[in-house]
Amino acid sequence: SDLQKQEERGELLQPLIFVLLVLCSVLLYFKVSLMDPGFVKSEEVEAGTSEEQSMVMPQVPSNIKMRRCGYCMVKQPMRAKHCQLCQHCVRRYDHHCPWIENCVGEKNHPLFIVYLSVQLVVLLWGGHVAWSGLYFEQSWGWLQHNVLLLMSFLLIVVFTMVVLLLLISHLYLISCNTTTWEFMSHHRISYLRHSELENPFDQGVILNLWRFFC
């Protein structure tokens, strides 16, 4: 049959890989959106928190103490922030993503980067497929028959640019060991405003990436 011949020629491999990538992207979306981003769950603070902070941020003045959240009344660890949409304090808070309806924080941030990467590959591949199906002709009949494909291609281009810019910005911030919240609100965060260094968390690009992903 034609299907068997296509399989023998390896023509079914690429569609199969594309479907698997789409499935992987969907699974990653639900995983990132449903998992705990690093909620501060209790009043208890780890015994080694102050020691760990002094090792990571030796330039921060000693008078910078953990403060109690005015919303959920828990003591916030360093780099945590309360999200009013999730109604929780989140460790190493980055931002609240409306696309996944969840915070991006300490636990799901690496997986969020993986999700963006897979989504970008899917969009680039889908854009290539849509573009290869377009044969331009200067006629009204051609436009009527290809309007949906053309609109799909333009929509893919828009989403691709959004995901690409988002991924690049996140990778840049990760390489600097900072978060979106810290980058945007540097002047309002006490442990950054009173630090002698502009970014006391920065330990070099390689070590920053290693500690984030590994």
Rounded to a whole number, what is the distance in angstroms from the first to the last CA of the chain? 48
The residue behind tokens 């980058």 is 183
**CA distances in angstroms from 12 to 5, 6, 16, 110, 188, listed in the order given:** 10, 6, 6, 32, 55
- From 185, 181, 134, select the one nearest 157 (Cα to Cα): 134
- Name the active-site residue from 97, 103, 176, 214: 97
- 97 catalytic? Reply is yes
* Rounded Cα distance, 187 and 191, in Å: 10
- From 191, 186, 123, select the one nearest 160 (Cα to Cα): 123
- From 152, 115, 111, 112, select the one nearest 130 (Cα to Cα): 152
Known catalytic residues are: 97
